[in-house]
Amino acid sequence: MSVLKEDFLWGGATAANQYEGAWDVDGKGPSISDMCTNGSHTRPKRVTPVLEEGTLYPSHEATDFYHHYKEDIALAAEMGFRCFRMSINWSRIFPTGMEALPNEAGLQFYDRVFDELKKYDMEPIVTISHYEIPYALVEKYNGWYSRKVIDCFFHYCEVLFERYQNKVKYWLTFNEINSGTLPMGAVLSLGCIRGYCGPVTEVPDEKQIRYQGLHHQFVASARAVKLAHEKYPCFRMGCMTLFATKYPYTCNPDDILKCQREMRRMNWFTSDVQVRGTYPSYMNRFFEENNITIQKAAGDDELLKTGTVDFFTFSYYMSTCETSDPAAAAAAGGNLIGGCANPYLKASDWGWPIDPKGLRYSLNEIYDRYQIPLMVVENGLGAYDRKETDGSIHDDYRIAYLRQHIEQMKEAVKDGVDLMGYTPWGWIDVVSASTGEMAKRYGFVYVEKYDDGTGDLRRRKKDSFYWYQKVIRSNGEDL
């Protein structure tokens, strides 16, 4: 008997903007991601309101799933995937986001993909919006800041649900919806950039705009969930949170309180709305202290109550520490998403703290709070991979990382957590979301694509490919 359920959803995760390429093919319009340049760990990627001649925009070709989907799905099947997390590129279906009629060629592409998955009995897990708002909506409305975008998104959902009702059962409305609480979320997640041109790490911190945009995403998500529940009862609707758990740096009560405050604002707020159906009262103080006023329309609160999700999904890459002492914070060094470094943990080459036990802790905390099924839909190690002269890639560091995280997932299941599945991020190499580079690779499958835009897109199995195949075959027992 294995620890994990017999029908545990093993698979891998991707997103259209980082994987598909074909950014202007068959009628697709540009999305916010298509306006972002490449970058690196030390050189931030930039958003440019107008495409610059001679600049590399990595989403334009990415690793070209558009033209390799058959080959890639066969590779996923070879590993034994039972599910396949992907996203639909909104601007492939509605090039500006505002059309009345969808782009038939775009719809047909996903028909082909879903049919291919079906051949291998793989369940698609579809993110409706994964950092892919059509750029025309960014230009016209300042993205999600405008309420108008709710109707555009809802129409997009109506079309997807009707078209794919017999092909897709699991839907996630917004990827990492809580990234809108971070300044960088204004770019990829909310598209509230008002013509800003520059590094995504330096986008102005406009809380009023971001939290209003988030409100519109909550309403849009709830409307989509409500529609699904009413019209397509076999659908299972999920939320998706970037869960970077936080620990108090010391047992000083000031650290404890700061940690609680940051946990709520960053990790709990958005899912409290999406799972429980109301704004949590702790946010009132934050809104007051930051001069934020959320404009709600009549009926919004009611809608949030009726559009709550069926399951909770999240990405898990790291934990961080919170300290109330500025000197301690400075000494410990920073983290990408705030907080300070944990002296007990090592970090990846990109400075992301590695904390498998934090995954067990998070699963327990989330399940205690919501009591609905959970799924880890992103996790993994972004690393520099070295291709040997014979073409092999020995990524034992990746295997070690994933093994430790799966071990802790199993501990969480023993602790009583209802866990549906696991889809490590970027199961095949894709463009990095935060830095726009190819050098940060997560895959079991290597793709010949490099940071200068060269590479013939050939696929190669890394050592981790065979390891993950064995893990799935044994339902997580042979690690």
- Residues classed as catalytic: 176, 378
C-alpha to C-alpha distance for 179 and 37, rounded to whole angstroms? 20
| Of 434, 443, 445, 471, the one binding ligand BGP by CB under 6 A | 434
382 in contact with ligand BGP (CB under 6 A): yes
β-bridge mates for residue 127, sequence order: 87, 172
**Does 267 contact ligand BGP by CB under 6 A?**
no
Alpha helices in 144-251 (DSSP H): 148-164, 185-188, 207-231
Spatial distance between the Cα atoms of 364 and 373, rounded to a whole number of angstroms: 12
* Residue from 82, 223, 440, 461 binding ligand BGP (CB under 6 A): 440
* 385 is a site residue for ligand BGP (CB under 6 A): no
Quick one: DSSP state of residue 165?
T
* SS3 label, residue 444: coil
Binding track, positions 329-368, relative to ligand BGP; x by CB under 6 A: ----------------------------------------
Residue type, 252: N
> Is 17 or 212 the residue whose CB approaches ligand BGP more closely?
17
Give the x/- contact pattern for ligand BGP in 287-326, rule: CB under 6 A. Answer: ----------------------------x-----------
64 binds ligand BGP (CB under 6 A): no
Question: Which positions from 241 through 260 interact with ligand BGP, judged by CB under 6 A?
Answer: 242
Tell me how long the chain is: 479
- Closest to ligand BGP by CB, 156 or 425: 425
* Chain mean position to CA 379: 10
| Rounded least distance, CB 170 to ligand BGP, Å | 16
Q: Which residue lies nearer to ligand BGP by CB, 38 or 103?
A: 38
Q: Is 15 in the site for ligand BGP (CB under 6 A)?
A: yes
Q: Which residues of 77-105 are buried (b: 16+ CB within 10 A; e: fewer)?
A: bebbbbbbbbbbbbbbbbbebbbeebbee
DSSP state of 56: -
Question: What number of chain residues touch ligand BGP (CB under 6 A)?
Answer: 14
Q: What angle do CA 452, 336, 195 make, to 5 degrees?
A: 65
451 binds ligand BGP (CB under 6 A): no
207 Ramachandran zone, left/alpha/beta (phi>0; psi -120 to 50): alpha
What's the closest the beta carbon of residue 291 comes to ligand BGP, in angstroms? 28
Binding to ligand BGP, residues 165-204 (CB under 6 A) = 175-176
Report which of 90, 211, 213 is spatially closest to residue 153, judged by C-alpha positions: 90
Decide: 463 and 395 in contact? Cβ < 8 Å. yes
Residues 410-429 that bind ligand BGP (CB under 6 A): 425
Binding region for ligand BGP (CB under 6 A) = 15, 18, 175-176, 242, 315, 378, 382, 425, 432-435, 440
